Chains A and B, each alone.
Chain A
Amino acid sequence: MRRRLLFLLPVALFAIVALYLVVGLSPERDPTLVPSVMIDKPAPDFVLPGLFDDGQGLSTDDLQGQVSLVNFFASWCVPCRAEHPILLRLAREEGVPLYGIAYKDQPDDSRAWLAELGDPFQRIGVDLSGRTAIDFGVYGVPETYVIDRAGRIRYRHVGPLTPAVIEETVLPLIAELRS
């Protein structure tokens, strides 16, 4: 009996290797995705000048007391253009407070871009140096963060938002954080 179990060993080894391959080569998995270490940590301290002349900048204090989204964008970023209709819909139909951070983008370019595509943001901070983005752990635009009432980061999405991400992850999370 024990000898027979020994013959099962290669089958068991194959199963282990197969499991790794199924997980590792799954088309769902993006091997370049870097998980955020900022989850459940307070949003980093920042004070950014505003994009418009109304004197409204964006700082960590603005993220307190409500569930909100922070979106890093740039007019030179093509995927940002792709996700923009989704941000507009979130702001208009779902009433989610959206804050924008213009990453390494000339303010004139950001303004022209928003004039063309529509402005979903309540406030926009200008991060010309990209240092606030680095404090958030951003490694490419667009990135979107869900911030809870206490100003903590609860979720980070890398790359353009998709309807699936919004319906399956972002909106349920916002509803949960609001309740």
Chain B
Amino acid sequence: MRRGPGLLSGVLLALLLGLAASTAGAVQPDEILDDPTLEARARTISQDIRCLVCQNQSIDDSDADLARDLRLIVRERLVAGDSDAEIKQFLVARYGDYVLLEPPVKPSTYVLWFGPAAILLVAAGGIGLFFHRRRARSAAPPPLTAEERQRLATLLDDR
């Protein structure tokens, strides 16, 4: 009964397979390009492209039919010599900025990109002002002038 090593290698195999599955995405073997550099670029681009069917997945992750078509288009255009930006532009021309998982920085998205930082700055400014005023109010009053001190002495002597 030597079950130990068999069990151990089984667990290792399962772990390795799990790891492989987590990095493979939805790319099917028949889609993969022969050129590993182009294939790597295809994977990087695909991870930035939204699947319009499942919407919160990239086309690299999605098993949807349309995602597969878009992955194939990405690879075709890479082979045709397009730059990464040109490929993204090709998809944006058809599906709009929504197809990009990271929205581009432009006037209509300024609120999205800079809004949180602006709110943080305004809030920090407000808090800073609040404490500044409170400290100003609670600071020790200015020392008495000679005149005031004399008056105080007279008042105390009156007792």
Contact present for A140 and B98 (CB under 8 Å): no
CB distance from A20 to the nearest CB of B (A): 12
Chain A: interface residue count, which band?
A: 10 to 19
B50's closest neighbor in chain A, by CB?
A: A34
Q: Is the interface of A mostly helix, strand, loop or mixed?
A: loop
Q: Is the interface of B mostly helix, strand, loop or mixed?
A: helix
Contact present for A38 and B53 (CB under 8 Å): no
- Give the residue of B55, B73, B96, B98 whose beta carbon is less than 8 angstroms from that of A134: B73
Given A34-B52, A140-B53, A134 contacting B69 (CB threshold 8 A): yes
A38's closest neighbor in chain B, by CB?
A: B94
Contact present for B96 and A139 (CB under 8 Å): no
Does chain A have a CB within 8 A of B86? no
Contact present for B65 and A37 (CB under 8 Å): no
Residues facing B in A121-150 (CB within 8 A) are 129-131, 134-137, 139-140
Does chain B have a CB within 8 A of A104? yes
Contacts of B52 in A (CB 8 A): 34, 139-140
Does chain A have a CB within 8 A of B70? yes
A to B CB contacts below 8 Å, 12 in the list: A34-B52, A34-B96, A35-B96, A35-B98, A37-B96, A38-B94, A130-B66, A134-B73, A137-B94, A139-B53, A139-B95, A140-B66
A contact set with B: CB distance below 8 Å: 32, 34-38, 104, 129-131, 134-137, 139-140
